[in-house]
């Protein structure tokens, strides 16, 4: 599928089947979700055979399709999205080449008027034979033919096919205007005895140049906006270390890597429920499962939003896509491949993206009737002036457009073609997308990556904003917030703790080491380091054993519930100090919530973190307790979004992690914060990405969307008014404007001026 017209035709083909109740087509994921009528299944026909027949019908209509296999595996998902990325790259190259070709022809076409422009400016200089050649009707005809068969070919074929299938689109309008103008000029050129003007050869070149430029800009924005989910898929480990055999089945730490265990790397899709896999420190867990042996801490932030790692030991469950930090784990697979947690999240994201937007572009919805109306007006115009008008108003034959002999046929043909030309998409089809594209460009300058015009439409009507906690209201980066000791300096406590934790990978250890390095402290060399996952780390520092960890395996929270405390102990002295680790509140979190509330937008906090931590953050930013939801899984977050939507609210979700991906995709508008410190999986599935990593940009995006949509409706109203005004004039309804409207050069550039006016009006109203 290349454009919105393709989506419309695919949907119409599917909906035409008597077994189909409804169909939703998504261009970004290149999928179609079909809901079958109950009676179709009651008749005994399998859904698989129906899907196969629908895919065959689409292929016959020019859209190669195949049934999507339920529960696609990891490798298949990765391959599918890589193939889509290649197609998008090829489409960008093809679109750029078309525009370059089209505007080369436009430049040559404009060159034919250079001598007239120079003379009109009082500049009488020799302009050489080249411009004389360009002024030749045969050369203009060649340029027009090149435009129609070259860069405009796909556009014209698409418009013709859409018209034949009874669903004309904007390409149909371009095709009728361009081809009709070419035919009129060709007839006049090949029949010089008619003494007709062949200047309409320039019309196809001009129209196609402007239309293809607009389409190229729109395609580029759409491709950038498409969700390839590469980062999301990067969490799916395609390879697993399968444990073949082991003589010892006990769960002691020493037996996790027992000498007689035989392991082999296999595709994750080949792992079955009940198989055992081995995951080493720093690796991604490939399957959902239960720990059989080993102890470690696991980073589950991409699933739960919890910034602190979670302790795992025998009997506890782990999820695919999470990262094992400290020790090796032997895991029994409970669900694999397409049934794993991360695979279900991907399907939820794809399904949510397949939901049809509630607000459709007005221009597309009226394109079909508009084409038929214009064709009817064109035919009526021809009939009126040829059979009636030229007799009732004989003076009109004295106009230049009727030729030197005042030919009624030439007059009628030109007026009927003018109706088609004036009603081209430069007036109706480009007014709305041009304004939206300028709006998205302005957003990009403000650090807002807006994925398409429909996003701006939905964002402008938002009345609820759901916020994640970790990484959204907070920084999402654990840091040392305080160091306490009675007998040692703070720097000494940090030096010893950093020495012990220097080789550890989990976020708390990195926070301690980073703090020591930022203070330029000398970190001592350690000996005999031992890590006890979930408890802490022990090492010899300057001849004494130093331990860094929690008082028990659960850790200890400070009274504010927003900090985690780790303790430093020394051999012979006991606990000598404590270090508080916290995830700091964003500097603009409170002001952003206040600005949203001042704009009449309610805020709700959805988090996978513990209730105490969520309540503390909500209180600091000014979110009421009735709008707090804590300890939520990704599925529960999605249900919370659905509940708000079911109550009639328009919801925007703001998040930063993969655990937010389903709710980001399900919300009317998903807004992802691009965290500078790490790759952000949420940005690949969100409607808007905040590239500046500032929460205040949420309000900036809302303001921009409202200003842009106000200009969109203004431009669309202006474009419709233009057609209402210009079509009657083009049809010859008045005598005075008739002379201007049918001046070939002025008419040819009318739509181009509209394009510029739309852009400049939007820039003036939304520029920062």
Query: Cα-flanking dihedrals φ and ψ of residue 536, to 5°?
Result: 155, -165
Burial class of residue 543 (count of CB atoms within 10 Å of its CB; 0-12, 13-18, 19+): exposed
Determine if residue 371 is left, alpha or beta; phi over 0 gives left, psi from -120 to 50 gives alpha, anything else beta. alpha
Contacts of 731 (CB under 8 A, 6+ apart): 377, 381, 415, 418, 419
Task: Give the pair of three-digit tokens for residue 599.
Answer: 């704009």
Q: CB of 36 within 8 A of CB of 50?
A: yes
Helix axes 137-149, 74-111, angle to 10 degrees: 170
Task: Tell me, yes or no, if 197 is annotated catalytic.
Answer: no
DSSP secondary structure, 545-587, as one string: EEEEE-SSTT-EE-TTSSEEEEEEEETTTEEEEEEEEE-PBPT
288, 299, 326, 468: which is the annotated catalytic residue?
Answer: 468
C-alpha closest to that of 20 among 28, 10, 7: 10
C-alpha closest to that of 558 among 588, 575, 579, 538: 579
Task: Give the pair of three-digit tokens for residue 421.
Answer: 């030309």
Task: Give the pair of three-digit tokens for residue 54.
Answer: 């629908």
Output the 3-class SS for 51-115: HHHHHHHHHHCCCCCCCCCCCCCHHHHHHHHHHHHHHHHHHHHHHHHHHHHHHHHHHHHHHCCHH
Q: CB of 320 within 8 A of CB of 340?
A: yes
What is d(CA 426, CA 459) in angstroms, rounded to the nearest whole number?
26
Q: What is the DSSP letter of 443?
A: H
Task: Give the pair of three-digit tokens for residue 250.
Answer: 């006990």
C-alpha closest to that of 98 among 155, 53, 143, 145: 155
C-alpha closest to that of 70 among 352, 349, 337, 342: 337
CA 217 distance to own-chain centroid: 15
CA 394 distance to own-chain centroid: 58
Helix axes 4-15, 47-60, angle to 10 degrees: 130
What is d(CA 65, CA 54) in angstroms, rounded to the nearest whole number?
9
Q: How many Cβ atoms from other residues are within 10 Å of residue 238's Cβ?
A: 16
Q: CB of 263 within 8 A of CB of 241?
A: yes
**What is the edge-to-edge ordering of all strands in the sheet holding 688-690?**
448-450, 688-690, 669-673, 651-655, 464-467, 602-606, 628-629
What is d(CA 653, CA 472) in angstroms, rounded to the nearest whole number?
11
What dihedral do alpha carbons 603, 606, 612, 618 form, nearest 10°? -20
Catalytically active residues, by annotation: 468
């Amino acid at each position: 599928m290349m454009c919105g017209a393709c989506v419309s035709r695919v949907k119409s083909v599917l909906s035409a089947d008597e077994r189909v109740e409804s169909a939703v087509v998504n261009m970004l994921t290149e999928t179609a979700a079909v809901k079958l009528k109950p009676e179709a299944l009651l008749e005994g026909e399998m859904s698989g055979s129906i899907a196969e027949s629908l895919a065959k019908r689409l292929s016959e209509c020019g859209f190669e399709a195949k049934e999507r296999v339920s529960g696609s595996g990891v490798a298949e998902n990765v391959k599918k999205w890589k193939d889509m990325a290649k197609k998008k790259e090829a489409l960008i190259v093809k679109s750029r080449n078309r525009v370059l070709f089209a505007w080369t022809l436009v430049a040559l076409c404009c060159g034919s008027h250079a001598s007239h422009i120079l003379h009109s400016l009082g500049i009488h200089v020799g302009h050489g034979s080249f411009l004389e050649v360009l002024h030749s009707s045969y050369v203009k005809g060649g340029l027009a033919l090149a435009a129609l068969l070259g860069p405009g070919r796909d556009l014209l074929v698409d418009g013709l096919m859409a018209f034949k299938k009874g669903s004309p689109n904007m390409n149909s309008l371009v095709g009728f205007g361009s081809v009709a103008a070419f035919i009129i000029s060709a007839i006049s050129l090949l029949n010089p005895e008619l003494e007709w003007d062949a200047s309409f050869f320039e019309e196809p070149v001009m129209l196609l140049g402007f239309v293809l430029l607009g389409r190229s800009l729109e395609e580029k924005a759409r491709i950038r906006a498409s969700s390839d989910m590469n980062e999301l898929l990067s969490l799916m480990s395609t390879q697993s270390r399968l444990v073949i055999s082991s003589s010892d089945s006990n769960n002691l730490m020493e037996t996790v890597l027992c000498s007689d265990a035989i392991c082999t790397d296999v595709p994750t899709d080949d792992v079955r429920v009940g198989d055992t896999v081995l995951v080493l420190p720093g690796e991604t867990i490939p399957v959902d499962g239960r720990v059989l042996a080993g102890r470690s801490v696991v980073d589950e932030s991409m699933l739960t939003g919890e910034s602190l790692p979670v302790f795992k030991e025998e009997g506890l469950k782990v999820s695919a896509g999470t990262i094992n930090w400290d020790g090796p784990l032997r895991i029994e697979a409970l669900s694999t491949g397409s049934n794993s947690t991360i695979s279900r999240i991907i399907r939820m994201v794809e399904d949510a993206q397949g939901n049809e937007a509630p607000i459709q572009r007005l221009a597309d919805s009226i394109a079909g009737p508009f084409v038929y109306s214009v064709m009817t007006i064109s035919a009526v115009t021809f009939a009126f002036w040829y059979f009636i008008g030229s007799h009732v108003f004989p003076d009109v034959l004295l106009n230049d457009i009727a030729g030197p002999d005042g030919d009624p046929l030439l007059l009628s043909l030109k007026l009927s073609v003018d109706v088609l030309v004036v009603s081209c998409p430069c007036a109706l089809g480009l007014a709305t997308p041009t304004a939206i594209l300028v709006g998205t460009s302005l957003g990009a300058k403000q650090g807002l990556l807006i994925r398409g015009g429909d996003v701006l439409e939905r964002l402008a009507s938002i009345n609820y904003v759901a916020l994640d906690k970790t990484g959204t209201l907070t920084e999402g980066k654990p840091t040392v917030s305080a160091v306490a000791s009675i007998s040692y300096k703070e720097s000494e406590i940090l030096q010893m703790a950093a020495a012990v934790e220097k080789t550890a990978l989990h976020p708390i250890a990195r926070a301690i080491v980073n703090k020591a390095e930022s203070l330029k402290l000398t970190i001592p060399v350690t000996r005999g380091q031992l890590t006890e996952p979930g408890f802490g780390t022990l090492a010899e520092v300057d001849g004494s054993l130093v331990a860094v960890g929690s008082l028990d395996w659960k850790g200890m929270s400070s009274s504010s519930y927003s900090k985690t405390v780790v303790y430093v102990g020394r051999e012979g002295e006991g606990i000598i100090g404590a270090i508080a680790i916290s995830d700091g509140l964003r500097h603009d979190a409170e002001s952003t919530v206040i600005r949203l509330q001042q704009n009449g937008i309610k805020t709700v906090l959805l988090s996978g973190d513990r209730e105490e931590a969520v309540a503390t953050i909500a209180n600091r930013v000014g979110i009421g307790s009735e709008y707090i939801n804590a300890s939520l899984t990704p599925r529960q977050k999605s249900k919370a979004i659905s509940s708000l939507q079911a109550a009639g609210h328009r919801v925007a979700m703001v998040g930063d992690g993969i655990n937010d991906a389903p709710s980001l995709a399900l919300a009317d508008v998903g807004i992802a914060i691009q965290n500078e410190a790490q790759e952000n999986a949420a940005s690949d599935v969100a409607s808007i990405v905040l590239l500046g990593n500032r929460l205040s940009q949420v309000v900036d995006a809302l303001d921009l969307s409202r200003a842009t949509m106000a200009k969109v409706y203004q431009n669309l109203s202006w474009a419709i008014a233009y057609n209402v005004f210009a079509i009657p004039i083009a049809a010859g309804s008045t005598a005075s404007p008739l002379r201007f409207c049918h001046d070939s050069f002025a008419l040819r550039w009318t739509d181009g001026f509209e394009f510029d006016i739309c852009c400049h009006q939007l820039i003036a109203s939304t520029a920062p």
